[in-house]
């Protein structure tokens, strides 16, 4: 692992989170949902990279959550929110490839979860 690689991943994660707000305000909910998923995925990869020196090459947020739980059992707490985690993970496919439309309220809920629970928790482990 290089410090530069970790920094790039963190900066990209933060940029995705900033994009969510812009897209949400413009009413582009599908891409806002995708950006939430990308933020969660990349911030987990960043955390794994700085804690273990590597991360699995996967797009599954659930699998990425299971990795830090091997070194810090507190990470399993995120899996208690499996329905929200699955909803966010599904946005990777749903917002890009399916004819699925995301509603304002569901993206708002996903964003609130990502900022108020997910981000806070990831920063603690």
> Running DSSP on this structure, what letter comes out for residue 38?
H
Residue 82 reports pLDDT greater than 70: yes
Task: Give the pLDDT band of residue 116 (cuts 50, 70, 90).
Answer: very high
3-state secondary structure (DSSP) of residue 2: coil
Residue 71 reports pLDDT greater than 90: no
Q: What tens digit of pLDDT does each residue of 36-66 get?
A: 999 999 999 999 999 889 999 999 999 998 8
Q: What is the pLDDT of residue 1?
A: 62
Residue ranges per structural domain of the chain: 3-124
What is the C-alpha separation between 90 and 87, in angstroms, rounded? 5
Please give the class, per CATH, of domain 3-124.
Answer: mainly alpha
Tokens of residue 54, six digits: 């590597």
What is the C-alpha separation between 65 and 28, in angstroms, rounded? 28
Q: What is the pLDDT of residue 122?
A: 87
pTM for the model: 0.92
What is the C-alpha separation between 84 and 63, in angstroms, rounded? 15
Task: Give the pLDDT band of residue 28 (cuts 50, 70, 90).
Answer: very high
3-state secondary structure (DSSP) of residue 78: helix
Alpha-carbon torsion 70, 38, 114, 62, what sign? negative
Vertex 121 angle, CA 117 and 122, to 5° = 120
């Amino acid at each position: 692992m290089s410090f530069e690689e970790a920094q790039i991943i963190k900066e990209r994660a933060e940029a995705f989170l900033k994009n969510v707000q812009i897209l949400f305000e413009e009413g582009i909910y599908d891409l806002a949902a995708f950006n939430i998923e990308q933020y969660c995925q990349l911030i987990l990869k960043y955390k794994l990279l700085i804690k273990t020196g590597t991360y699995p090459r996967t797009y599954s947020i659930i699998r990425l959550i299971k990795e830090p739980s091997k070194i810090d059992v507190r990470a399993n707490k995120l899996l208690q929110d499996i329905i929200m985690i699955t909803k966010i993970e599904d946005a990777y496919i749903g917002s890009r490839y399916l004819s699925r439309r995301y509603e304002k309220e569901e993206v708002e809920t996903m964003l609130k979860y990502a900022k108020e629970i997910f981000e806070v928790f990831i920063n603690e482990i």
